[in-house]
Amino acid sequence: MAKILITDGMDKGAVQTLKDMGYEVVEQFFEPEPLKEQVKEFNILIVRSATKVRKEIIDSAVETGNLGLIIRGGVGVDNIDVVYAESKGIKVRNTPNASSLAVAELVLSHMFCLARFIGLSNITMREGKWEKKKYTGIELGGKTLGIVGFGRIGKELAKKASALGMKIIYNDVLGPVKDLSKYTFVSLDELLTDSDFISLHVPGEKDEPPLISENEFSKMKDGVYIINCSRGSVVDEKALLEALNSGKLAGAGIDVFSEEPTNNFELISHEKVSVTPHIGASTKEAQERIGEEVVSIVKEEGL
Is 34 strand, coil or helix?
helix
Single out the catalytic residue among 48, 72, 278, 289: 278
Query: CA-CA distance, 287 to 14, in Å (whole number)?
Result: 9
Single out the catalytic residue among 231, 237, 289, 293: 231
Let me know: does 63 contact 40? Beta carbons within 8 Å: yes
Q: Is 31 a catalytic residue?
A: no
Residue type at position 37: E
Query: CA-CA distance, 170 to 177, in Å (whole number)?
Result: 10
Single out the catalytic residue among 37, 205, 214, 260: 260
Dihedral, CA of residue 140, residue 145, residue 150 and residue 151, to nearest 10:
-20
Angle between helices 118-126 and 100-115 (to 10 degrees): 60
Dihedral, CA of residue 45, residue 48, residue 54 and residue 56, to nearest 10:
-40
Q: Is 266 a catalytic residue?
A: no
Query: CA-CA distance, 294 to 12, in Å (whole number)?
Result: 12
Which alpha helices (H) appear in 116-236, and where do they start and end?
A: 118-126, 152-163, 188-194, 214-219
Q: Which residues lie closer than 8 Å to 42 by C-beta, 6 or more apart?
A: 3, 4, 5, 26, 66, 67
Q: Is 260 a catalytic residue?
A: yes
Choose among 20, 15, 51, 97: nearest CA to 260.
Answer: 51
Provide the annotated active-site residues: 231, 260, 278
